[in-house]
Amino acid sequence: MLLPVSQVASLVDSLHLTWIDEVYLNAIPKEDLNNTTSTVMLLQETDSSPAYLANSTFKGLAMGVEIQIFYKVYLAKDFNPLEAEIALMKSFKDAGWLIVSSQHHTTDPDTNQVTKTIYVTKNEMIKGDI
């Protein structure tokens, strides 16, 4: 079983989103922290706890991921971030992820980028004996 952030990264990669320039797992590299010319997505694990409890043990994991989107400062005039986010959340739902929370848009005080945070979760059975 892949780490939750790796599962989300694979899903995002499979969607071929032209509006996402880079996807980072766990941290944004120092050299890209002040990059305002690209739209980046940061994935961080929020949960990886036992699930499907039975017979004094667990049969699966509850996985959670925080998805942070940092939009480039100068977006194309025909690009609608809200429509893109709705399509993204629908794709997660279709792939079996539950949208736990979709936070309001904020502006990063250091870079002036509009940001969005979405929390997703999914319970997955453990395959075979681990």
What is the CATH classification number for the domain harbouring 72?
3.30.2000.10
Q: Has residue 130 been placed in a domain?
A: no
Residue 94 has pLDDT above 70, yes or no: yes
- Whole domain around residue 25: which residue ranges? 4-125
Residue 127 has pLDDT above 90, yes or no: no
Tens-place pLDDT, residues 9-21: 999 999 999 999 9
For residues 66 and 64, give the distance between their C-alpha atoms in angstroms, rounded to a whole number: 7
Q: Has residue 119 been placed in a domain?
A: yes
pTM: 0.92
Other beta carbons within 10 Å of 118: 20
Q: How many residues appear in the chain?
A: 130
Q: Within 13 A of 98's CA, how many CA atoms are on the CB side?
A: 8
